[in-house]
Amino acid sequence: MPIKCPPAPVAANPALVVQTSILKAGTALTRFHSKARAGNVYNPNTSKRIDIEEDGARFNPFPGAPATNVPTLYAADNLGAAALESIFHGVKHIPSPTFPRIGLKESCYSELAVNDDLVVVELVNPHSHYWYRG
Amino acid sequence: MSDSFTSSAALLEPSGIHTLEVRHAMDKLIEAASPERSHANAAYGVLIYHAAKKGPVPNIFSATGRFVRAYLKGWTALSKMEVDIVGIGEGRKDRIDVFEQNNVRYFVKVFAGKAAVNALKKEAKPSLGVYINTAHLDTLLLDDLRLPHLPERFRNMPLVMQVEETEQKNSEVLLGWENFVKATSEEIAAQETVDRDTVEWRSQFMKNHLSWTAKEVADQSTSTAKNRGALASRWAQERKIFAVKYEGQFWYPRFQFQDGEPLPTVGQVIQAYPIHANGWDFAYFFATPNANIGGRKPLELLKTDPERVLSLARAAADPADAY
């Protein structure tokens, strides 16, 4: 399933309403990353291609302007989500999946603190809460 | 429970453990619990052993273990006990009778307050179990043992708790270090499962992927060297190919070669991994269905799309950096 991500438009579409929310300054986030990189450095995605899945899966890279790709990193408000959505993302949802330990050895996690109030795009459909709660 | 079941007692003191006749041990304990006495006798407790059990002589470690378990049970009972402390030691309330936990198979009796000592003396037939004198279990000692302090309302008063162990139940609430032991054994069991799965995966790999010995690698190449093992180990050392160790021997999976020579992509994949990666890490990468290529295995693309294989290897070596 190749990813066909269109380049970002130069001017924003006024009809498009984006729901945002604010991550308050001081919010703690957890993030997994390679030991070779500091915890607050973006993923090394600048030279990666959007048409190769392992180069980005869902969020990155996506082309930016003027940079080649928009710098990204995945962080979560808890350790479990941060681990599941990064280091364990490729693990199959089956009983007793296999997982190579080498990937774990090269990774670590960091706790990040948001310095200033951060405006984030809300990708959560509020109605999905009802489904979640059953 | 009656005296006929009990035979010997062990007195736990700061100096060690002493096997005594039951009544004698109880007298020592009562003495230590008495507020009027000096600190010469600082008995922590008495363990009463079953006559029928012809076990070994009470041992300091097993006695301590039993004492600690009993303390935790007593502590749990005290914490849940609804008594009016003001009433303790007055009139007929000299003996707070019995606190029982219905969901757990043990029994805690507390002797507290001014009249605790007298009530204990009247206890003609000490029953099986552990009698704990809390007077000498100071907070430093409890912290050392990682045991919880007595609930505040029970501190600073003579207090002996008797914990009868009727039977051990799996449903028992575990506290403190017992949780640690449980967690550790679960961890060991989980590790054993992982080890078993790993062995199983490796044996499946060997079944499904033809592999060569070092000599066979040399035979398949055009090498004329006399030392038939040298070529494979030199290639492995140069990180051009990898070997997996299986049943005491090194095996070189055949998919790494074309016309007896290493496929250059294999070396590039190896170099995309950290230096401490071993042969099984590469075997796993090449032979595991990969979601990024629709569930195919990277080894299927070795000859047709080497660039893609390399890109998959980089993502696999640093899984956290893609997201």
pLDDT in tens, B243-289: 999 999 999 999 999 999 999 999 999 999 999 899 999 999 999 99
- Look up the ipTM and state it: 0.74
Model confidence at B92: pLDDT above 50: no
Do B322 and A57 count as a contact with CB atoms less than 8 A apart?
yes
CB atoms within 10 A of CB B66: 21
Residues of B in contact with A40 (CB under 8 A): none
Separation CA A58–CA B322 (nearest Å): 10
Model confidence at A134: pLDDT above 50: no
Give me the mean pLDDT over the B100-116 stretch: 68
Nearest C-alpha neighbor of A32 from the set A96, A62, A70, A75: A75
DSSP per-residue codes, B263-293: -HHHHHHHHHS-TT--HHHHHHHHHS-BGGG
CB atoms within 10 A of CB A21: 10
Q: What is the pLDDT of residue B177?
A: 61
pLDDT in tens, A38-88: 999 988 776 677 677 777 655 656 766 666 777 788 899 999 999 988 888
pLDDT winner (highest mean) among B69-73, B78-82, B299-303: B299-303
Taking the CA of residue A120 and the nearest CA in chain B, the distance in Å comes to 17
Taking the CA of residue A36 and the nearest CA in chain B, the distance in Å comes to 10
Q: What is the pLDDT of residue B221?
A: 87
Model confidence at A8: pLDDT above 70: no
Do B316 and A100 count as a contact with CB atoms less than 8 A apart?
yes
Strand partners, B159: B112
Separation CA B278–CA B50 (nearest Å): 57
How many CB pairs below 8 A link A and B?
A: 81
Do B319 and A86 count as a contact with CB atoms less than 8 A apart?
yes
Residues of B in contact with A1 (CB under 8 A): 294
Kindly compute the dihedral angle of the four CA atoms of residues B110, B112, B117, B122, in this order, to the nearest 10 degrees. -40
Task: Provide the chain A residues 81-120 that lie in CB contact (below 8 A) with chain B.
Answer: 85-87, 89-90, 92, 96, 98, 100, 102-103, 105-107
B234 touches B274 (CB < 8 A) = no
When CB atoms are compared, the residue of B193, B273, B308 closest to A102 is B273
Least confident of B118-122, B168-172, B293-297: B168-172
B33 touches B135 (CB < 8 A) = yes
Residues of A in contact with B273 (CB under 8 A): 102
Separation CA B251–CA A89 (nearest Å): 31
Residues of B in contact with A52 (CB under 8 A): 292, 308, 311
When CB atoms are compared, the residue of B292, B316, B317 closest to A53 is B292
Q: Which of B199, B278, B281, B318 best probes binding to A when mutated, by most A CB atoms within 10 angstroms? A: B318
When CB atoms are compared, the residue of A36, A57, A98 closest to B201 is A98
Tokens of B223: 């090498």
Tokens of A19: 């729901």
Residues of B in contact with A106 (CB under 8 A): 274, 317-318, 320
